[in-house]
């Protein structure tokens, strides 16, 4: 029981192996670097990770954070040792379902309903937010899929690359289906994401600059709403989630 609550002891027992996976027993925060408190993601209890740093050659150094890679989406971030509670995890390789795309399509109504409920809660935009009620744009989308047993990448540009590409935006949304993802930004990079509901409407979590400071419903139709117009001007393309991220198969 002592080792269960002492992650350093567990890491030492395995020589700080990069091939052993660990399961979180508590919700934790993920940070951008080793020292600053810049949140990049929040990590649910029961998610799985492997250790990247330190390794057996560094463990004598004093450190309060470790660098990890998460199993469900391949995301890399720093986490605090203080308050960390973990257990060793044995992974079982599961072959992808032949009906994976149909499974995801069937989940879309429940997924959109979940987002609708989140939008009705008191919430604000939180950079790195995934636990709720406060989210960032990709945190909302990733968690909506996670809650329905579909793993997708963490950041909007990663999700864009992961999705089945549908089309580059040319003033028409007729081909969109509920659950399709909308990608916003510029020619260099996607930096915002939303999810299509129906009839030109989509959910997204936007910030205070040109946004709603939380989860809102905007439109692709002609509108006098300044926020909808702003994001429509930034719309790059649309994509569809047709598979779940897999550590051993998906290009990371």
Q: What is the CATH number of the domain that holds 8?
A: 2.30.30.40
Listed residue (12, 76, 80) closest to 50, CA to CA? 76
Q: In the chain, pLDDT over 90 holds for what percent of residues?
A: 82
> Once rounded to an integer, what is the mean pLDDT over residues 60-69?
88
Full residue range of the structural domain in which residue 14 is found: 3-89
Token output for 67: 């660098």
Residues 58 and 37 in one domain: yes
Token output for 99: 């009906």
Question: Do residues 135 and 192 make contact, with C-beta atoms less than 8 angstroms apart?
Answer: no
| Cα 236 to Cα 169: distance, rounded to the nearest angstrom | 6
Residues 232 and 115 in one domain: yes
Tens digit of pLDDT for each residue in 117-127? 999 999 999 99
Q: Is the pTM of this model over 0.75?
A: yes
| Cα 34 to Cα 80: distance, rounded to the nearest angstrom | 9
Q: What is the CATH number of the domain that holds 213?
A: 3.90.1720.10
Tens digit of pLDDT for each residue in 126-157? 999 999 999 999 999 999 999 999 999 999 99
pLDDT band at 171 (very low <50, low <70, confident <90, very high): low
Identify whether 197 is part of a domain.
Answer: yes
Residues 55 and 128 in one domain: no
């Amino acid at each position: 029981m002592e080792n269960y609550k002492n992650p350093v002891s567990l890491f030492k027992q395995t020589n700080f192996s990069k091939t052993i996976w660990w399961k979180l027993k508590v919700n934790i925060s993920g940070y951008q670097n080793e020292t600053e408190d810049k949140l990049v993601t929040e990590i649910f209890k029961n998610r799985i990770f492997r250790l990247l740093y330190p390794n057996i050659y560094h463990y004598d150094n004093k450190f309060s954070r470790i660098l990890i890679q998460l199993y469900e989406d391949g995301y890399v971030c720093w986490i605090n040792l203080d308050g960390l509670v973990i257990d060793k995890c044995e992974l079982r390789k599961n072959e992808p379902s032949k009906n994976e795309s149909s499974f995801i399509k069937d989940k879309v109504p429940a997924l959109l309903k979940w987002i609708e409920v989140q939008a009705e809660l008191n919430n604000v935009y939180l950079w790195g937010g995934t636990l709720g009620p406060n989210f960032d744009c990709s945190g909302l989308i990733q968690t909506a899929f996670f809650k329905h047993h579909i793993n997708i990448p963490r950041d909007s540009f990663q999700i864009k690359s992961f999705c089945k590409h549908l089309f580059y935006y040319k003033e028409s949304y007729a081909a969109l289906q509920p659950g399709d993802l909308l990608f916003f930004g510029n020619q260099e990079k996607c930096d915002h994401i939303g999810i299509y509901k129906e009839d030109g409407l989509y959910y997204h979590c936007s910030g205070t600059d040109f946004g709603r400071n939380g989860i809102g419903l905007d439109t692709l139709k002609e509108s006098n709403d300044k926020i909808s117009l702003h994001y429509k001007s930034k719309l790059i393309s649309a994509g569809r989630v047709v598979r779940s991220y897999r550590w051993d198969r998906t290009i990371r």
